[in-house]
Structure 1
């Protein structure tokens, strides 16, 4: 499997898991979603918003790649988040709708990348203004791991609230390999 194919798989996994997490979270009341549960981003709603904030920040950076000027144009036009803890959507339904939109953008963007795009060096500034130059493929890996990390937190918060999201293993989406 090529590096590009691995990122295609991670984009599909990201979309699948977000769907599962949001369907599970949708079983809770608005009060339960916003309840401070002692997590780093406070609540389930706060943590889900943080993932959207992170996506927005990173996708706007990724949009500067010459191959991504079209696929991420709409995301690049979004307002910059004010902080990593910003509640971009206090209403769960609006957050879910935006999450679905972002996941579609991510699938299309990754689908349009070529193997050659992976070696591009992305120059950007972090949220504190510190400049960095890193290999695009390594940043993509970070992007998808960020999702997994925080969805794991949400999964724990949901479990503590009595909601089971079911199987979360990437293994479910890995295709069977043929024997040679």
Structure 2
């Protein structure tokens, strides 16, 4: 289940859903993005920001790149300039897809160790489990964003993976591009 085709499919799904949510958010007045809606991170903008930060952190851990600074508490302040945020989100989605297509056919192997700010200690877990976590975490917070956008009167696309357009992102889902 955590092989390259799975990762590529989920990376394509991630990009499609983020594009849908960003398009829906664009239809709202700017102030609506900052209205507290009772979600874990409060607002649409803060939840989008946390997800961008978390995706960047996990991708950096997987690739060995420098992990973005800050922690969960700081993660909600990255989206002050909405047009820059949209550019960063789109670029990161492309990076996630590129990473997924470069995975070994059988998926990631071995363990990954990192210092977890959330737990205050070094943690080691199988890379396959963390691959699942990356995409599950995205879906969790995108669900919150989708609900907040819908409540605000916006109309994001459906979220059913089987409705994902074939051309929503590059890659066929089989890892061959």
Cα displacement (A) at 1:115: 2.9
After superposition, where does 1:76-115 map in structure 2 within 5 Å?
76-77=65-66, 79-84=68-73, 85-115=75-105
Corresponding residue of 2:172? none
Task: Name the CA distance, whole Å, in 2 between partners of 1:173 and 1:160.
Answer: 23
Q: Which runs of 5+ in 1 are unaligned?
A: 65-75, 176-180
Task: Name the CA distance, whole Å, in 2 between partners of 1:49 and 1:90.
Answer: 9
Q: Does 1:140 align with 2:161?
A: no
Q: Which has the higher contact order (CA 8 A, sep 6+)?
A: 2
Q: Which runs of 5+ in 2 are unaligned?
A: 167-177
Q: Does 1:165 align with 2:156?
A: yes
In structure 2, the CA distance between the partners of 1:49 and 1:108, relative to structure 1 (3 Å rule), is same
User: How many residues were matched structurally?
Assistant: 164
Check conservation: 1:53, 1:81, Cα contact below 8 A. no
Check conservation: 2:2, 2:132, Cα contact below 8 A. no
Task: Name the CA distance, whole Å, in 2 between partners of 1:117 and 1:168.
Answer: 25
Check conservation: 1:49, 1:89, Cα contact below 8 A. yes
Q: Does 1:35 align with 2:58?
A: no
Task: Name the CA distance, whole Å, in 1 between partners of 2:94 and 2:129.
Answer: 22
Kindly report structure 1 stretches of 4+ aligned residues shifted beyond 4 Å. Answer: none
In structure 2, the CA distance between the partners of 1:139 and 1:42, relative to structure 1 (3 Å rule), is same
Check conservation: 2:46, 2:79, Cα contact below 8 A. no
Corresponding residue of 2:121? 130
Q: Which structure has the greater CA radius of gyration? A: 1
Corresponding residue of 1:47? 47
Question: Could you give the per-residue CA deviations for residues 83-142 of structure 1, whole angstroms, max 9, x where no partner exists?
Answer: 344311212111111000100110111111113552221111111431111111110110
Corresponding residue of 2:60? 60
Cα displacement (A) at 1:16: 0.6
In structure 2, the CA distance between the partners of 1:152 and 1:82, relative to structure 1 (3 Å rule), is same
